[in-house]
């Protein structure tokens, strides 16, 4: 029997530790921002920017303070007036011109007056829903004509001393001081209050009153 040698099992290959890998770093995945969050951030930035820019744009578009006032009725003053009694005496009113209160039994006829009218008679007109436009006596003829053109049919217009502004427009319980005949708020005021809805006797005309600025008795045949 031949002496044959069989090779033994192969020697195990020793595994060597490669050691730390130089020049690499663990990869950290950053969380992605959701689309809604991004959109919300952009929207917030736009809103903030608009808030900062809006006053500048508003100023550029609307102009100076007088022009800004002409765009709304925020300066209209209103009062709750309940006294509607008739009196032949002079009355001390809280407003200038008066916006309601006790008044004369006779009202003034509608129209444009070239001299001051008696308060007590004019207030009776206000009770009827009449618009009363008062103006500085020194207002130019052109300005007076411009005011008269805007006076409603159910309205009176008269000069008045010591007004708080060049023109004041009044209805029962509401009043607005105007910068002049060209103040655009007059049109806004007439649109809002010119129908006389604030007056206790809404719908009654100033027609038929006395044409005397000082409230003298009307001629026979009138309704006052």
**How high is the pLDDT of residue 12?**
46
What phi and psi, each to the nearest 5 degrees, are found at residue 48? -65, -40
- The rounded distance, in Å, linking the Cα atoms of 165 and 176 is 9
95-126 tens-digit pLDDT:
999 999 999 999 999 999 999 999 999 999 99
53-82 tens-digit pLDDT:
555 545 545 556 666 665 789 999 999 999
Least confident window among 43-52, 160-169, 175-184: 43-52
User: C-alpha angle with apex 185: 182 to 190, nearest 5 degrees?
Assistant: 110
pTM for the complete prediction?
A: 0.69
Select from 148, 147, 88, 95 the least CA-distant residue to 126: 95
Beta strand ranges found along the chain (DSSP E):
77-78, 111-112, 131-135, 155-159, 167-171, 174-178
35-47 tens-digit pLDDT:
666 566 666 666 5
């Amino acid at each position: 029997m031949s002496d044959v040698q069989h090779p033994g099992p192969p020697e195990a290959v020793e595994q060597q530790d490669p050691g730390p890998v130089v020049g690499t770093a663990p990869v950290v995945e950053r969380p992605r921002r959701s689309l809604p969050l991004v959109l919300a951030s952009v929207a917030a930035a736009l809103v903030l920017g608009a808030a900062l820019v809006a006053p500048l744009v508003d100023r550029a578009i609307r102009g100076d303070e007088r022009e800004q006032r002409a765009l709304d009725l925020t300066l209209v003053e209103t009062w709750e007036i309940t006294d509607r009694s008739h009196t032949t005496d002079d009355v001390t009113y809280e407003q200038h011109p008066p916006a309601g209160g006790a008044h004369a039994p006779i009202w003034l006829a509608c129209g444009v007056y070239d001299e001051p009218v008696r308060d007590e008679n004019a207030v009776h007109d206000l009770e009827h829903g009449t618009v009363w436009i008062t103006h500085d006596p020194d207002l130019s003829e052109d300005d007076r004509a411009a005011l008269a053109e805007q006076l409603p049919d159910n309205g009176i217009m008269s000069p008045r001393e010591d007004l708080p502004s060049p023109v004041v427009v009044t209805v029962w319980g509401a009043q607005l001081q105007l910068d002049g005949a060209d103040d655009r708020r007059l049109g806004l005021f007439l649109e809002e209050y010119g129908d006389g809805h604030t007056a206790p006797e809404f719908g009654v005309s100033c027609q038929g009153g006395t044409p005397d600025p000082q409230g003298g008795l009307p001629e026979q045949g009138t309704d006052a």
